[in-house]
Structure 1
Amino acid sequence: MSKQKLKIGKIINTHGIRGEVKILRITDFEERFTPGNEVIIAADQGDITLTIDSHRIHKGFDLITFKGYTNINKVEQWKGLNLFIDKNQATELEEDAYYYHEIIGCQVQTTEGETLGKVKEILSPGANDVWVVQRPGKKDLLLPYIEDVIKKVDTDTGIISVELMEGMLD
């Protein structure tokens, strides 16, 4: 049985010749890339668990090296692959905070019970996240993650109750 994993980023390129890789981060937890932490690469030949040796930020991207991988030739094969952590490594969140995997796929309905669609992705453009709801046969609905709109999130049932503001469905 495979362990449950949470996606934290993607290796988008190599950097230099000493085994450094450029990561597109999809986690809010910067400490995920602290040297000594373990990450998992889901490769064709199976999962590879690696220990982070170094981390720095360069031009808005995370650059990391792995213990035992000090050459571009050893890491180039991982370009385009996703980075994960074991679900047991997940940090406890404060109330009304959710992991992306808990929200994506949830059914969205109005407080009156009208089903709008399912959350297909989460955007982080600035002050607050925006939940993208895929609606059958219609344009995607963009819901800002604010108290006035998101009224109740039940991750156990997978249902999110919302109160739409005027003009949101246009």
Structure 2
Amino acid sequence: MQDYFQVGVITSTHGLKGEVKVYPTTEESRRFDDLCGQKVYAGRDGSLEELTIVSVRYFKKQVILRFAEKNNIDEVSSLRQARLLISREQALPLEEGEYYVADLLGLKVVADDGRELGILTDVLTTGANDVYVIGRQGQSDLMIPAIRQCVLKTDLEAGEILVHLLPGLEDL
């Protein structure tokens, strides 16, 4: 299971006083208000830099943040293109039967007839329901709607998702 979850990507600097623009990758962009005053992590090349958010503003589809540890444009310019991460403890709580996408990625997907279908490589968010993208060796990806009729069991401990393929899904 993942220890850190991505909530955004630092796209560029903003102004001269050490602010950065962040493209949110969380479904709840106002989530950054809750992170003000808390520690977050800028991740790049396997290393993490701990930062404390001291101000949050919203501009168009981006979030403008300032960190306590950075006071000018020179200090934040190295953060460009870094992933902005939070700890698992800071993540929003889940309801029964819900999972963090980061925990699902990489799980083996097995059909209820015993066939191993592949590895979950992505989760697409649509208006109606999520769609699981299953990477298959030497074949095109298989897409399965993340609905109760298709996703029968998710077992994080075993690293496996059991699915039922509705007629015609493999033909798409």
TM-score, normalization: structure 1? 0.85
What's the CA shift string for 1:55-108, capped at 9, x where partnerless?
Answer: 233222222111242322211111011122223333331111111121001111
Residue correspondence of structure 1 range 66-77 to structure 2 within 5 A: 66-77=67-78
Looking at structure 2, the residues matched to 108 and 153 of structure 1 have their Cα atoms a distance apart, in angstroms, of 9
Corresponding residue SS for 2:89: helix
Gaps of 5+ in 1: none
**Shift, 1:159, TM fit:** 1.0
Looking at structure 1, the residues matched to 18 and 119 of structure 2 have their Cα atoms a distance apart, in angstroms, of 40
**Shift, 1:45, TM fit:** 9.8
Q: 54-63 or 72-81, which moves further after superposition?
A: 54-63
Query: Does residue 150 of structure 1 match 2:151?
Result: yes
Q: Are the structure 2 counterparts of residues 142 and 24 from structure 1 closer, same or farther at C-alpha, using a change threshold of 3 Å?
A: farther
Corresponding residue SS for 1:121: strand
Corresponding residue SS for 2:168: coil
Looking at structure 2, the residues matched to 141 and 52 of structure 1 have their Cα atoms a distance apart, in angstroms, of 40
Residue correspondence of structure 1 range 18-57 to structure 2 within 5 A: 18-30=17-29, 32-34=31-33, 35-43=36-44, 46-57=47-58
What's the CA shift string for 1:106-162, capped at 9, x where partnerless?
Answer: 111111111110011222233322221101111011222222221111111111111
Looking at structure 1, the residues matched to 140 and 45 of structure 2 have their Cα atoms a distance apart, in angstroms, of 35
Partner of 2:61: 60
Looking at structure 2, the residues matched to 106 and 45 of structure 1 have their Cα atoms a distance apart, in angstroms, of 22
Letter in 1 for 2:7: I
Query: Does residue 83 of structure 1 match 2:70?
Result: no
Looking at structure 2, the residues matched to 126 and 58 of structure 1 have their Cα atoms a distance apart, in angstroms, of 24
Residue correspondence of structure 1 range 88-99 to structure 2 within 5 A: 88-99=89-100
Q: Are the structure 2 counterparts of residues 74 and 92 from structure 1 closer, same or farther at C-alpha, using a change threshold of 3 Å?
A: same
Corresponding residue SS for 1:137: coil
Q: Cα RMSD (Å) of the superposition?
A: 2.3
Looking at structure 2, the residues matched to 123 and 26 of structure 1 have their Cα atoms a distance apart, in angstroms, of 13
Q: Percent identity?
A: 36
Corresponding residue SS for 1:169: helix
Partner of 2:7: 8
TM-score, normalization: structure 2? 0.84
Query: Does residue 163 of structure 1 match 2:164?
Result: yes
